[in-house]
């Protein structure tokens, strides 16, 4: 599925999603957010998709909220804004809880909600031209699209407060030093590296990845050690009873690569 504002293409187990509003620096309109919601739902259902790469066109990953939307909301009731933000939150939750690996390839500016969206990635790659900023305070707005959850878990509480309160825009290298991104790559190589890493992950055991990702997210959400040990036991019980685990054991004994079928 594709739309004018989100290009969607599946190849070799990888769904590539490209936010495509270059004139607006890929800022998030109602229709782009709806397209992201639909695309991640489709990718979750499609057994041919083993990994997703999310990126942007031109010089931006995403500049956050669309100016027209922000102006509209500034002239609306608190009740209406609350309802719309709940809808935005549903999109973020679908992206963050996506059961397959997600690579966010930050090709340029990622600020405000665009920065929050980038931080939903399981692997966050940044072009050496990328810039990141939690610029909400510059516009008298609070953090949204999960920024208050994602940022402190990546960079720590004190650094998160400094970035949120100051609205400072930082370079890709500075973001890497803070723990916001996994790797910085030369701008011209970003797409190739992102697709290469995604195709590698598409070869991994999908059931194990999905359950492992869910466990890590429960840990980040505050589950206790006892709760996680119980969930780990349940996950292993499921996996040991799967055809893919039996295939992995056979492949190990036969000294070959396993072929995982998500069964």
The per-residue pLDDT for 219 is: 94
Distance (Å, whole) CA 93 – CA 62: 18
Q: Residue 196's CB: how many other CB atoms inside 10 A?
A: 12
Tell me the per-residue pLDDT of 36-66, one tens digit each, with 9 for 90 and over.
Answer: 999 999 999 999 999 999 999 999 999 998 8
pLDDT tens sequence across 83-130: 999 999 999 999 999 999 999 999 999 999 999 999 999 999 999 999
Region 12-32: mean pLDDT is: 95
Confidence at residue 88, expressed as pLDDT on a 0 to 100 scale: 95
> What confidence category does residue 70 fall into, taking pLDDT thresholds of 50, 70 and 90?
confident
Residues 103 and 110: beta-carbon distance below 8 Å: no
Distance linking the first and last C-alpha atoms of the chain: 26
Residue 67: predicted pLDDT: 86
For residue range 121-150, what is the model confidence (pLDDT) as tens digits?
999 999 999 999 999 999 899 999 999 999
**Single pTM value for the model:** 0.92
Sign (positive or negative) of CA dihedral 113, 114, 116, 122: positive
Distance (Å, rounded) from C-alpha 61 to C-alpha 149?
20
Q: What is the pLDDT of residue 263?
A: 82
pLDDT value at residue 213: 94
| Distance from C-alpha of 14 to C-alpha of 196, rounded to nearest angstrom | 10
Instruction: Write phi, then psi, for 260 (nearest 5 degrees).
Output: -90, 135
Q: How confident is the model at residue 1 (pLDDT cuts 50, 70, 90)?
A: low
Question: What are the pLDDT digits (tens) for 157-204?
Answer: 999 999 999 999 999 999 999 999 999 999 999 999 999 999 999 988
pLDDT at 3: 77
CA angle 161, 162, 163 (to 5 degrees): 90
Evaluate if residue 2 carries a pLDDT over 80. Answer: no
- How much is the pLDDT for 30? 92
Interatomic CA distance for residues 15 and 24, integer angstroms: 24
pLDDT exceeds 90 at position 226: yes
CA proximity to 133, closest of 111, 152, 114: 111
CA 248 – CA 42 distance, rounded (Å): 28
The mean per-residue pLDDT over the stretch 6-35 comes to: 96
């Amino acid at each position: 599925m594709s739309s004018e504002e989100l290009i969607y293409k599946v190849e070799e187990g990888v769904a590539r999603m490209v936010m495509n509003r270059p004139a607006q620096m890929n800022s998030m309109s109602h229709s782009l957010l709806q397209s992201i919601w639909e695309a991640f739902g489709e990718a979750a259902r499609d057994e041919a998709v083993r990994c997703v790469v999310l990126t942007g066109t031109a010089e931006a990953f995403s500049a956050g909220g669309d100016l027209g939307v922000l102006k509209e909301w500034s002239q609306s009731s608190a009740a209406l804004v609350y309802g719309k933000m709940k809808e935005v939150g549903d999109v973020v939750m679908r992206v963050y809880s996506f059961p397959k690996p997600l690579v966010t390839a930050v090709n340029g500016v990622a600020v405000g909600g665009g920065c929050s969206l980038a931080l939903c990635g399981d692997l966050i790659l940044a072009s050496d031209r990328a810039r990141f900023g939690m610029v909400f305070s510059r516009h008298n707005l609070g953090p949204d699209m999960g920024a208050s959850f994602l940022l402190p878990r990546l960079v720590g509480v004190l650094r998160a407060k400094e970035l949120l309160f100051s609205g400072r825009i930082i370079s890709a290298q500075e973001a890497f030093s803070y723990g916001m991104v996994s790797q910085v790559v030369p701008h011209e190589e970003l797409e190739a590296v992102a697709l290469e890493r995604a195709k590698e992950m598409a070869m991994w055991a999908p059931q194990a990845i999905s359950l492992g990702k869910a466990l890590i997210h429960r840990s980040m959400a505050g589950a206790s050690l006892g709760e996680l040990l119980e969930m780990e036991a349940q996950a292993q019980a499921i996996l040991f009873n799967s055809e893919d685990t039996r295939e992995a054991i056979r492949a190990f004994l036969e000294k070959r690569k396993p072929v995982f079928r998500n069964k």
